Amino acid sequence: MRTLSIDVSAVKGEETQDGLLGLLKKLGYRYKTFDCFWDTFGKQSNGLPEGVLVFGNLSTIVMHYEQVRPHDWIASVRERRPYFIGLVRTTLDELYINFTDELVRNSEMRASLCHNLETDFRHCLLKALSCLKPHALIDVRYSPLSRRLWVQFNDGLFCSVFWGWLGLQKEIPHLMLETAVLRDNGAALEILRRNGDILRIDASSVRKCLSVLHSGTSQIGVGNRVRAARSRVGMTQNDLARKTGIPQSNISRIERECHYPRRHTMQRLADALECTPTELLFGE
C-alpha cells in the first residue's frame, strides 16, 4: 500500500485533526503529513508533490479558494492533481455548501464533502483514493453535435471513445450514449441500451485503447487540419472567430502550429467546422 501525502492544516481543532489521522490508521493507511500545501497552491506548484489528499473544514477550503484567481486554481489542480475533502462540521461550513458547485467544477470534480467522520469518512476516502489513481475516469460527457462520448482520466488524458478499438462498433446504434455515467469511483463506465439493459465498460479497457491511439500521435498537423476544415466550409479566420468566440489571433496561431488548443477549444472549433474533434486531432 502506498504512503499517502496528506494535508490537514485546514481542519479546525487539534482534536479533530488527531481523530482524522486516527481514522486513517484504523483503516490501515500509511500517510505522511504535508502542512505547507496552502502556502504554495495557486501561486506556484514547484514545491508540491503530486496527488496530495487535502482535508479541511469546507468553509476554510472555500476561503482559500476565494483568495486565488480561478485560472490559477485550475492550473494548479491540473499540474499537481490534489483531491479535496471538505468537512461539514460547523454552522459556517453549512453556509458554505452553496459555494461548492463552483469549487468542485474548477477542481475538475476532485472534491467531495464529508458530513460525518464516523459514517461518511470511509466512502469519501475511497472515492478520493480512486481519483488519485492516474488511470481512473473522472468525467464522461456526451456531445450531441458530434454524437460521441468524451472521457477524461485522472492524469489529464481527454479523448473521444473509439468504439472500433474496443470491439463495440456494432453496439453504437443500440446505445443511448447520453445516459453514460461513471461507476465504482471511476473504475467503470455504464451506458443504457435501448432495450433497457446496461453496457458496462472497464476504465482499464478504455485507457488501454486510448494509450495505443496516443502512442503514435503528436501535435503536428492539427493546425493544417483546422485550416483545411475551415476552407472546406468556406470560412475565413474572422468567420470562425465570430462563430466560436475564439480571437482571430488565436486561430491564426493554431493554424500556424504555434499554439496547441486545449480540449474545450478543440470542441468549439469542431462544432463550428461541422466535424469532430477526433478529425482535427488525428485526421480520422
From the list 252, 255, 246, 250, the residue with the least C-alpha distance to 226 is 255
Calpha distance 26→158 (Å, rounded) = 36
DSSP labels for 100-151? Answer: HHHHHHHTTT-EEEES-TTTTHHHHHHHHHHHHSTTSEEEEEEETTTTEEEE
* 8 Å CB contact between 90 and 45: no
From the list 10, 120, 124, the residue with the least C-alpha distance to 65 is 10
Query: In the structure, what pLDDT confidence band is assigned to residue 80 with cuts at 50, 70 and 90?
Result: confident
- pLDDT value at position 225? 87
- Which residues have a Cβ under 8 Å from the Cβ of 11 and sit 6 or more positions away? 17, 20, 55, 56, 57, 60, 87
Q: Any idea where the domains of the chain sit in the sequence?
A: 4-132, 138-214, 222-282
Calpha distance 201→182 (Å, rounded) = 10
138-214: in CATH 3.30.450? no
- pLDDT value at position 155? 67
pLDDT tens, residue by residue, 87-145: 999 999 999 998 889 998 898 888 999 999 888 898 888 888 877 777 778 788 888 87
- pLDDT value at position 60? 95
Calpha distance 95→105 (Å, rounded) = 19
Query: In the structure, what pLDDT confidence band is assigned to residue 192 with cuts at 50, 70 and 90?
Result: very high
CATH architecture designation of domain 4-132: 3-Layer(aba) Sandwich (3.40)
Calpha distance 21→34 (Å, rounded) = 13
Give the H/E segment covering residue 15: helix 14-26
Of 66-80, 205-219, 258-272, give the range with the top mean pLDDT: 66-80
CATH architecture designation of domain 222-282: Orthogonal Bundle (1.10)
pLDDT over 70, % of the chain? 89
Q: What is the mean pLDDT of residues 23-35?
A: 87
| One-letter-per-residue 3-state SS of 169-223 | HHHHHHEEEEEEEEEHHHCEEEEEECCCCEEEEEHHHHHHHHHHHHCCCCCCCHH
- pLDDT value at position 220? 52
Phi, then psi, of 151 in degrees rounded to 5 = -125, 150
pLDDT over 90, % of the chain? 31
Calpha distance 41→202 (Å, rounded) = 33
pLDDT tens, residue by residue, 230-278: 988 999 999 999 999 899 988 988 888 777 777 678 888 988 998 877 7
